[in-house]
Structure 1
């Protein structure tokens, strides 16, 4: 059995989950960043997983070498802005408040971002466990094969 495929699958999974953690952390860090009067400011982000093209099979997705590459991993997801209206908070004394006393903050839901971060961390850990299991199986196979001489 070629263990490189299972290592590649785990590597792509870890890359995707790390991107989810990074984006959730960035969203949380900018949750209280004020938008300016012209509407510019932080736009919340999401990691979007890309499915394979219709009609493609698994071997097409992992490439000719039988190993996921960083290039393939980069095409498996993208980071896109979320087009949601700003969260309006009534703070009449704030320097960026509009005429009615409302300040526009990015549409970041802290609870959703925390759940995303926790689930991504658990999925990352599961990919690490799968990779370690495949590594241990490969080492045992080498150990068994080496003992036959």
Structure 2
């Protein structure tokens, strides 16, 4: 495995963490969304990652799928809400804001780790090239 492959691997990790941060941001933006029925209520989304290993034995990661959470939606009594059903209830999104904040911190740190890997690899390549001078 060449040192140049590190850039591809770290780059794929950065792309995957970007998807993770975007889905988490979408979940957090919809944490207070309500709907008339559970089917209409916002469902939390989470990316599914898969490792990549090709013939050159270089790896990486890719987003395999984005699934919607099947956690239950909470009913809240709000008879004055225009989206309430006939009984006066609205259905909240099934987003857990604490869980999503932990996901955001984790994704952000993973992204930063991949940036550090790229920077370290760049420094190593630069030092290797300067040895020939």
By the TM > 0.5 criterion, same fold?
A: yes
Taking structure 2 as the reference length, the TM-score comes to 0.86
**Residues 126 and 135 (structure 1 numbering): CA distance in 2 closer, same or farther, change over 3 Å?**
same
Q: Which residue of 1 aligns with 2:81?
A: 94
d(CA) in 2 for partners of 1:109 and 1:90? 19
Q: Which residue of 2 aligns with 1:26?
A: 26
Moved over 6 A (4+): none
Q: CA RMSD in A?
A: 2.2
Q: How many residues align?
A: 133
Q: Which residue of 2 aligns with 1:104?
A: 91
Unaligned stretches of 5+ residues in structure 1 = 53-60
Deviation track 1:94-128 (CA, whole Å, cap 9, x = no partner) reads: 12223433210110011111111011101100110
Deviation track 1:10-45 (CA, whole Å, cap 9, x = no partner) reads: 111111111111000000111222223472242210
Structure 1 segment 22-101 matched on structure 2, within 5 A: 22-37=22-37, 39-51=39-51, 61=53, 63-64=54-55, 73-74=61-62, 76-101=63-88
1:139 is aligned to 2:88 = no
d(CA) in 1 for partners of 2:32 and 2:22? 17
Taking structure 1 as the reference length, the TM-score comes to 0.77
d(CA) in 1 for partners of 2:37 and 2:47? 28
Which protein has the bigger strand share? 2
Do 2:5 and 2:58's aligned partners in 1 also have CA atoms closer than 8 Å?
A: yes
Which protein has the bigger helix share? 1
